[in-house]
Amino acid sequence: MKIMSINCGSSSLKFKLFEMPEEKVITEGQFERIGFKEMGTYKIKFNGEKTESSLLLPDHSVAADHLLKDLIDKKIISSLDEIKGVGHRIVQGGKYFKESCIVNEWSKARIEELIDLAPLHNKAHLIGINAFEKALPNVKQVVVFDTAFHQGMEEEAFMYAIPYYWYSEYGIRKYGAHGTSHQFVANEYARLTNQDIKKLKIITCHIGNGASLCAVEYGRCKDTSMGLTPLEGVPMGTRTGNIDPTVVSYICQKENKDAYTVVQELNKKSGYLGVSEISNDARDLEEAYKKGNEKAILALHIQEKRIADYIASYYVYLNGCDAMVFTAGIGENSDTMRSRVCARLKVLGVEIDEKLNLDRGHPFRISTPNSKIDVWVIPTNEELVIARDTLRIINE
Ligand code: ADP
Domains and CATH numbers, the chain: 2-145 (3.30.420.40), 194-382 (3.30.420.40)
**What does the pLDDT profile of the chain (396 residues) look like in tens digits?**
999 999 998 889 999 999 999 999 999 999 999 999 999 999 999 999 999 999 999 999 999 999 999 999 999 999 999 999 999 999 999 999 999 999 999 999 999 999 988 877 898 899 999 999 999 999 999 999 999 999 999 999 999 999 999 999 999 999 999 999 999 999 999 999 999 999 999 999 999 999 999 999 999 999 999 999 999 999 999 999 999 999 999 999 999 999 999 999 999 999 999 999 999 999 999 999 999 999 999 999 999 999 999 999 999 999 999 999 999 999 999 999 999 999 999 999 999 999 999 999 999 999 999 999 999 999 999 999 999 999 999 998
Pocket residues: Cβ below 6 A from ligand 1: 208-210, 237, 281-283, 286, 328-330, 333-334
Q: Is the separation of the CB atoms in 334 and 323 below 8 Å?
A: no
> 221-234 burial, b for 16+ CB within 10 Å, e for fewer?
bbbbbbbbbbbbbb
Distance set, CA 32 to CA 9, 48, 60, 267, 271 (Å): 9, 21, 10, 21, 24
Which residue type occupies 160? Y
Ligand 1 center–CA 330 separation, angstroms:
5
Ligand 1 atom 19: residue of nearest CA: 329
Residues with a catalytic annotation lie at 146
The Cα 331–Cα 379 span in angstroms is 9
- Using CB atoms within 10 Å of the CB of residue 140, give its burial: 0 to 12 exposed, 13 to 18 middle, 19+ buried: middle
CA-nearest residue, atom 4 of ligand 1: 209
- From ligand 1's centre to the CA of 319, what distance in Å? 31
Is the backbone of residue 194 left (phi > 0), alpha (psi -120 to 50) or beta?
left
What is each CA distance from 109 to 13, 57, 103, 114, 239, in whole angstroms? 21, 26, 10, 9, 30
In ligand 1, the atom with minimum distance to the C-alpha of 328 is: 6
Q: Which atom of ligand 1 is nearest to the CA of 280?
A: 14
Measured distance CA(304)–CA(307) in Å, rounded: 5
Cα 366 to ligand 1 centre (Å): 19
d(CA 210, CA 226): 10
